[in-house]
């Protein structure tokens, strides 16, 4: 039975030790007030307990308070005081160690073992891919672009250098794979940040992606459906209609006979995109760290925005929601107030089989504008202009009236509908993965901007622009007004809409004005739309047509009925205040007549101000108390004389050690608060 008693005793010691470690770790986190890792706190506590136990045993024997067998030779209360002080100071030293660790290696920077193994596997893939991308970049002459530079402005010395860089960047992105190709296509729309030579060169990027094997596609569709393909589709064409970087589109027929298209995510697309985005982020951070042009362009922000957009594109349920939203605003009202029906066709979403990796849509029979030149050649100029007018009117209606708009109307996303082999005068929209939304204030401001440009009113255009954007506090409005006036003249002189809106974005960003993402998407819509309209009707003047087509739409925003409804809504909100207004005016007049009128100003009425002041006062008081406690502890520890608790144990020494413990704990807390205030992103 001795082994049973030994096992029970060992189990008790183990449980009590674990409980003490957890208690000390919890106390350390509470005292520091910082999210210190539990594993780190427990390990430091274990070291502190072990060290304190050894120091206590050796100290008791050295002082003659215990013999070699551990039998106490002093009053137990004196030994208890010594034990408490030793473990208290071990706790304080553990806090100091934790503080130093958090400063040097914050919690979270060192991964847990299982995370380390997972990161190691992923890191090897990323390293191989990173080396591959860097090799491609060096092969196309971009080695100098990745090196450190001493140029302060980040500009190049000649147009030849810019063109050479643009060609090398295009070829590098093209060879690096589909994710980088899509990034280059995104950069080609940022004329507000990149030179025209770069954006024009990047606009030629094409993603030539071979289709996935049919058996892999069938498995991916069955996995997304959660059942065999033939239980949902009566027919499924294994040869894709189109193949892109993230997914590919197949023709199919439902069991009820409806013809549909099935957009299925390519097998392994998420994993490949995750690796490529990690590589892209690493390259962006390196460029922004080592190059002046990378810092001036903010390539990290560009890469982060692209990564967020591409991750959203991987979720087809978002595209399904966007498609429904665009269909909801299709019915356009004509100039005389009657319904003209939809100007363009948006396919209907088939809800049942659609999901995050599979999207089933009504099939539209037609040809993308970029591939429909032979089809459009069979139409006369008037019919082609009518198609362009319909597309522009639909885009303006989405932007100014519905508020939900297709943000990527390039020639590949607009379909010329076909009936019996010829164009039937209709247009369809594809790929609703990129959709923007504007609220009523933004739509009114955008309409006001277009009206001001049409009326050559630089002042009104500036006011509308500032209503659309986020102006900084020190903005030179007069200078911005003059520059907007020059840009308005470019609009009215027939400058291309893409170049004009790109110039508008460059102008406001140079003035330090932040452009909200949805407003930037609206501006880019006009730039993408210009090329599509020119293919539909060569020589199409987007600015002049927008002026003609936009007036009726803008008038719908300010109709008497709309204004009356808006005023009624606002008056309903003001009604309680209006009822109280006469009584309040009477009270103010009475106080003025009798000399009792006063104005009370409450300092620190804002909760954030009160919290800041309270925290500051708390930190100052804690600092003073900590300093006072430490100074008092030093005075007591060096003081001579005083009562004795035991031989060689003065009372002042015990009090000094206890006071020093309190002061040191408070000092650690003050340092934690100070460090959290200066680097909150790390704590």
Pick 586 or 471 by higher pLDDT: 586
Helix (H, G, I), strand (E, B) or coil at 405: strand
Q: What pLDDT was estimated at residue 149?
A: 46
pTM of the predicted structure, to 2 decimals: 0.61
Predicted pLDDT at 680: 44
**Do strands 404-406 and 242-243 pair parallel, antiparallel, or not at all (unpaired)?**
unpaired
> Could you give the C-alpha distances from 322 to 317, 346, 358, 403, in angstroms and in order?
9, 11, 15, 12
Give the per-residue pLDDT at 458. 80
Distance CA 559, CA 576 (A): 28
d(CA 325, CA 405): 9
Confidence of residue 252 (pLDDT cuts 50, 70, 90): very high
Inter-residue long-range contacts of 444-451, CB under 8 Å, 24+ positions, other chains counted: 444/557, 446/399, 446/400, 446/519, 446/522, 447/400, 447/550, 447/553, 447/554, 447/557, 450/546, 450/547, 450/550, 450/554, 451/554
- Please count the residues of the chain: 683
Report the alpha-carbon distance of residue 174 to residue 183 in Å, rounded: 10
Contact 32, 56 (CB under 8 A): no
| 246-255, 462-471, 670-679: range with lowest mean pLDDT | 670-679
pLDDT of residue 157: 45
Which whole number is the average pLDDT over 141-170? 62
The whole-angstrom separation of Cα 513 and Cα 470 is 6
- On the question of pLDDT at 683 being above 50, the answer is no
pLDDT of the residue at 213 = 83
Rounded average pLDDT over 509-516 = 70
Please give the residue that has the higher pLDDT: either 196 or 218: 218
pLDDT at 338 over 50: no
Per-residue pLDDT at 537 exceeds 50: yes
Q: What is the CA radius of gyration of the chain?
A: 36
Highest mean pLDDT among 34-38, 143-147, 229-233: 229-233
Determine the Cα–Cα distance for residues 251 and 241; give it in Å rounded to an integer: 7
Q: Is 164 exposed, middle or buried (0-12, 13-18, 19+ CB in 10 A)?
A: middle
Catalytic residues: 408
First to last CA, the chain: 53
> Does the structure show a pLDDT above 50 at 15?
yes
**Is residue 358 predicted with pLDDT exceeding 80?**
yes
Least confident stretch, 185-194, 217-226, 404-413, 489-498: 489-498
- Of the pLDDT bands very low, low, confident and very high (cuts 50, 70, 90), residue 502 is low
Q: How confident is the model at residue 253 (pLDDT cuts 50, 70, 90)?
A: very high
Residue 362: which residues within 8 A CB-CB, separation 6 or more?
A: 258, 259, 260, 261, 347, 348, 349, 350
Strand partners for 406: 435
Q: Provide mean pLDDT across the span 443-456.
A: 77
In this predicted structure, the answer to whether residue 229 has a pLDDT above a threshold of 80 is yes
Residue 260 banded pLDDT, cuts 50, 70, 90: very high
Question: What pLDDT is stored for residue 122 in this prediction?
Answer: 59
- C-beta of residue 318 within 8 angstroms of C-beta of residue 165: no
Contact (Cβ atoms closer than 8 angstroms) between residue 280 and residue 290: no
User: What is the average per-residue pLDDT within 637-661?
Assistant: 75
- Checking if the pLDDT of 598 tops 50, the result is yes
Whole-number Å distance between alpha carbons of 396 and 522: 10
**The predicted structure's pLDDT at residue 582:** 80
Would you say residue 1 has pLDDT above 70?
no
Using alpha carbons, select from 358, 348, 357 the residue that is nearest to residue 232: 358
Report pLDDT for 301: 77
| 41-55, 93-107, 256-270, 551-565: range with lowest mean pLDDT | 551-565
At 606, is the secondary structure helix, strand, or coil? coil
pLDDT of 679 = 47
Residue of 430, 427, 434 whose CA lies nearest to 372: 427
pLDDT tens-digit map of 417-438: 887 666 666 888 888 877 888 8
pLDDT score at 151 = 46
Q: Is the pLDDT of residue 335 over 50?
A: no
Identify the helix (H) or strand (E) that includes residue 308: helix 299-313
Highest mean pLDDT among 113-122, 294-303, 392-401: 392-401
> Mean pLDDT throughout 171-192?
73
Residue 415 has phi, psi (to 5 degrees) of -110, 130
Looking at residue 423, its pLDDT comes to: 64
- Bridge partners of residue 332, in order along the sequence: 341
pLDDT tens-digit series, residues 148-157:
444 444 444 4
The CB density around residue 593, as the number of other CB atoms within 10 Å, is 9
Q: At what angle do helices 316-328 and 299-313 cross, to 10 degrees?
A: 80
User: Is residue 136 over pLDDT 70?
Assistant: yes
Q: Tell whether the model's pLDDT for residue 672 goes beyond 50.
A: yes
**Structure confidence at residue 288 (pLDDT):** 80
How many CB atoms lie under 10 A from the CB of residue 100?
A: 10
DSSP bridge pairs for 262: 250, 360
Q: What is the DSSP string of 23-86?
A: HHHHHHHHHHTS---HHHHHHHHHHHHHHHHHHHHHHHHHTTSB-TT--B-S-HHHHHHHHHHH
Of 430 and 133, the structure prediction assigns the larger pLDDT to 430
DSSP secondary structure string for all residues of 87-114? HHHHHHHHHHHHHHHHHHS-TTSS--HH
Residue 563 above 70 pLDDT? no
354-364: burial string, b at 16+ Cβ within 10 Å, e else:
bbebbbbbbbb
pLDDT of residue 493: 61
The predicted structure's pLDDT at residue 462:
82
Encode pLDDT of 27-68 as tens digits: 777 777 666 766 777 777 777 777 767 666 666 666 566 656
How far from 568 is each of 37, 556, 560, 572, 573, CA to CA, in Å?
Answer: 57, 18, 12, 6, 9
Q: What is the mean pLDDT of the chain?
A: 75
Query: Quick one: angle between helices 269-290 and 299-313, nearest 10?
Result: 170
Compare 347 and 457 and report the one with higher pLDDT: 347
């Amino acid at each position: 039975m001795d082994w049973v008693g030994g096992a029970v005793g060992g189990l008790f010691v183990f449980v009590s030790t674990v409980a003490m470690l957890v208690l000390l770790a919890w106390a350390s986190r509470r005292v520091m007030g910082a999210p210190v890792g539990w594993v780190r706190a427990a390990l430091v506590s274990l070291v502190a307990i072990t060290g304190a136990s050894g120091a206590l045993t050796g100290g008791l024997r050295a002082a003659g308070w215990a013999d070699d067998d551990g039998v106490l030779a002093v009053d137990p209360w004196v030994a208890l005081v010594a034990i408490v002080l030793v473990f208290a100071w071990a706790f304080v030293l553990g806090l100091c160690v934790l503080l130093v660790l958090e400063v040097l290696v914050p919690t979270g920077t060192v991964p847990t073992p299982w995370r380390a193994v997972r990161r190691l596997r992923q890191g090897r893939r990323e390293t191989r891919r990173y080396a591959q991308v860097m090799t491609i970049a060096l092969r196309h002459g971009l080695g100098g672009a990745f090196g450190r530079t001493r140029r302060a402005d980040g500009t190049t010395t000649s147009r030849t250098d810019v063109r050479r860089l643009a060609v090398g960047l295009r070829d590098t992105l093209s060879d690096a794979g589909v994710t980088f190709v899509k990034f280059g296509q995104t950069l080609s729309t940022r004329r507000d940040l990149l030179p025209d030579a770069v954006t024009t060169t990047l606009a030629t990027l094409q993603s030539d992606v071979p289709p996935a094997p049919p058996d892999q596609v069938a498995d991916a569709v069955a996995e997304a459906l959660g059942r065999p393909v033939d239980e949902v589709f009566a027919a499924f064409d294994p040869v894709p209609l189109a193949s892109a970087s993230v997914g590919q589109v197949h023709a199919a027929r439902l069991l009820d006979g409806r013809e549909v298209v099935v957009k299925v995510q390519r097998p392994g697309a998420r994993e490949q995109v995750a690796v490529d985005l990690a590589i892209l982020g690493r390259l962006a951070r390196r460029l922004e760290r080592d190059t002046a042009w990378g810092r001036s362009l903010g390539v990290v922000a560009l890469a982060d925005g692209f990564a967020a957009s591409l991750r959203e594109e991987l979720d087809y349920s978002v595209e399904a929601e966007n498609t429904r939203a665009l269909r909801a605003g299709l019915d356009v009202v004509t100039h005389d107030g009657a319904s003209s029906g939809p100007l363009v066709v948006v396919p209907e979403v088939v809800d049942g089989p659609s999901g995050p990796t599979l999207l089933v849509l009504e099939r539209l029979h037609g040809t993308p504008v970029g591939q429909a030149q032979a089809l459009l050649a069979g139409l006369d100029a008037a019919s082609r202009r009518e198609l362009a007018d319909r597309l522009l009117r639909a885009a303006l209606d989405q932007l100014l009236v519905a508020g939900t708009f297709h943000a990527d109307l390039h020639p590949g996303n607009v379909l010329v509908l076909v009936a019996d082999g010829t164009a039937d005068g209709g247009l369809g929209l594809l790929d609703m993965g990129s959709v923007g939304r504007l609220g009523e204030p933004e739509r009114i401001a955008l309409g006001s901007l277009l009206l001001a440009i049409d009326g050559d009113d630089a002042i009104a255009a500036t006011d509308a622009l500032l209503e659309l954007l986020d102006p900084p506090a020190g903005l030179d409005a007069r200078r911005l007004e003059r520059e907007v006036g020059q840009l308005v003249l470019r609009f009215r002189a027939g400058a291309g809409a893409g170049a004009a809106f790109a110039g508008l974005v460059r102008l406001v960003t140079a003035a330090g004005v932040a452009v909200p993402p949805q407003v930037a998407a609206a501006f880019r819509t006009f730039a993408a739309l210009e090329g599509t309209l020119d293919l539909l009707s060569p020589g199409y003047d987007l600015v002049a047509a927008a002026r003609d087509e936009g007036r009726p739409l803008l008038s719908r925003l300010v109709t008497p009925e709309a204004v009356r409804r808006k005023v009624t809504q606002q008056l309903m909100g003001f009604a309680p205040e209006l009822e109280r207004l006469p009584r309040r005016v009477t009270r103010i007049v009475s106080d003025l007549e009798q000399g009792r009128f006063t104005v009370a100003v409450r300092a620190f009425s804002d909760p954030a101000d009160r919290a800041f002041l309270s925290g500051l006062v708390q930190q100052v008081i804690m600092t003073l108390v900590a300093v006072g406690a430490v100074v008092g502890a030093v005075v007591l520890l060096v003081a001579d004389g005083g009562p004795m608790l035991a031989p060689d144990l003065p009372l002042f020494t015990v009090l000094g050690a206890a006071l020093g413990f309190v002061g040191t704990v408070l000092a650690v807390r003050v340092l934690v608060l100070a460090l959290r205030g200066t680097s909150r992103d790390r704590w």
